[in-house]
Amino acid sequence: MLLAKAFCTAKERYYDFGKIHRFLIKLAFGTLWMCLLNQVHFSLPFSPVPISLGPSAAAFLGALIGPAAAVASVASFLAFGVSGFPVFAGAVFGPTWGYLVGYMGAAWVMGKCVQNMKKQTFSRFYLAMIISNLSLYVSGCAWLALFVGWQKVLSLGFIPFMPGMFFKDAAFTLLYMRGKQTLSI
């Protein structure tokens, strides 16, 4: 009887060990994904917030690896940036910090949307990408208002980014749908 208990415990530990390994692989991939894609950015002359692939990349990550691993990956990415690694498009704790923290919300919202989607179509996935990115703009604009005031926050931190957001979200949606079709997932 004691041997049976020991075997079950060892088997359960092995399963948890495999689960932890899968999570750590997702975490490493997600952190690398965020570090690399956040480097693709350019500044706007009238705004302290640069245009970056980071917001859509964070949402896409939520769809790829799930909400928990995506949020952990974004938190790891933020830890790298706060530690001094040059992974942010803007300054640490500067006007862009609210957007960076909002990456976690975007990843979580997108991951949950994909988990709860009964049928993944282009339009549903695209709408989920837009909703997840809009959640990011809530924290980003709230933080930016501390630097530029509530009067200017929409014109400096929201409206100029909408056309790019729609385009990037469409591109990432197309990438996801093509990858899903190619891999027959």
Domain ranges of the chain: 14-183
* CATH C-level class of 14-183: mainly alpha
| 127 and 79 Cβ atoms separated by less than 8 Å | no
Residues of the chain above pLDDT 70, percent = 88
Residues 88-144: pLDDT tens digits?
876 678 899 999 999 999 999 999 999 999 999 999 999 999 999 999 999 999 999
Query: What value does the mean pLDDT of the chain take?
Result: 87
Question: Which distant-in-sequence residues (6+ apart) come within 8 Å of 31 by Cβ?
Answer: 73, 76, 77, 80
Q: What is the pTM of this model?
A: 0.84
Q: Is it the case that residue 14 has pLDDT exceeding 70?
A: no
Predicted pLDDT of residue 92: 78
d(CA 94, CA 18): 39
